[in-house]
Amino acid sequence: MNGQQAAATARKGIVRGSRRIRRFVELLGPGLITGAADDDPSGVSTYSVTGAAFGYAPLWTALFSFPLMAAVQLMCSRLGMVSGRGLAGVIRRRYPRPILWAACTLLVVANVVNIGADLGGMAEATEMVTGVDSLWWTPIYAILIVSLLLWSSYRKIVRVFKWLTFVLLAYVVAAFLAEPDWHAVLYATLVPHLEWSSSYLATLVGVLGTTISPYLFFWQAAQEVEVERALGRVTEAEREGATDEEIRLSRTDVPTGMFFSNLVMYFIILTTAATLHAHGQTSITTAEQAAEALRPLAGPGAYWLFTLGLIGTGMLGVPVLAGACAYAVAEAAEWPGTLDDPPGRSVRFHVILALAMALGLALDYAGFDAVAMLFWSAVVNGVLAPPLVVLVVLLTSDATIMGERRNGPLLRTLGWTTAAVMAAASVAMFLTN
């Protein structure tokens, strides 16, 4: 084989490989988007602070949290597919209204604070790149995201979200540019490290609360319903039940998305551990500080990847946060509305969505400290997650709702384990403080 034939063969192999990747991505849906949205700028900040403060020691949390996160999200996915309703809609039919509205209120509070922190993070990252004050960028991003959600069809939104997920690979590349100690990395990944200290436990709760976030539960179930609607199943009766093929696709889609999410989390912790912590810079408080500190330690490549990654993750994470608010409140209040509807057809749904964005934006101009917003958002998520996971496990184990699709022993065990771990971590954090 001459050089030209070898080059032609290589090109064909690359084309075939890219086509396989594209087909695989097209098969994936709500699970991939949900998993990627978990790594929003607030999440990137939490993981950056974790790696800088404690080095490689917390790497095991990515491996530990993956099956727990995947199990809960898979239950939410199946709940949406089988019931034909979102999580808030199912809770409304099965439990007293105070439980429903308490969950929705805490969700909205945490999400609005998260939106404010994320918009601020995106704006600061853009200021680092352009030199233009972040105060100008914050409303620009807010308007851009609201415009996307209000005036694009669901299919277009999903297409944009899917390709935004690849922005997260920037953090994987940045980790290799940091040249970590791979022996220490492997040890910290496989051997859990625990400390009975307020700082370590607060960080652990922050990581778990950021990774296993309540807004993802609502979003996952709602997106399964959106997929059903896109197939022409308009009424709840038409959407009830799920085929074997739909369940099979969910088993691929959801774990893939959660694996992707935890992989990115892992490499963000690894990057800041290998650079900042290794050089004694253990007291950063934001991802922007981490990016700035990376420049002299890991080179301009890691700096640019880290900074631009913040903007891309915000464009994916903020719409999901706002959308989860709209879905939860609309379902709880029995208001019609989906992302596929034009604003005039479901006014109240879109008002909630825009209001969540506006309140988050207002927090950035009200002088609230971004670090404090991140902390309290993580605390609210940590308080809300355990009881909400309990509700998800109970609902998806109920034969009257799920029929033959109710949880098996493995999903039930992982669900109860998730609730117990989240509750124990939250209690331990409050006790040490």
Cα(151)–Cα(243) distance, rounded to whole angstroms?
32
Tens digits of per-residue pLDDT, 182-221? Answer: 999 999 999 998 887 778 887 887 788 888 888 899 999 9
Tens digits of per-residue pLDDT, 55-103? Answer: 999 999 999 999 999 999 999 999 998 988 899 999 999 999 999 999 8
Tens digits of per-residue pLDDT, 210-266? Answer: 888 888 999 999 988 888 887 777 667 667 777 788 888 888 888 998 998 899 899
Arithmetic mean of pLDDT over the chain: 83
The first and second tokens of residue 346, run together, are 């479901």
Cα(343)–Cα(357) distance, rounded to whole angstroms?
15
All domains of the chain in start order, with CATH: 29-432 (1.20.1740.10)
Distances in Å between the alpha carbon of 160 and those of 316, 327, 416? 9, 20, 35
Q: Specify the higher pLDDT residue, 410 or 344.
A: 410
Residues in the chain: 433
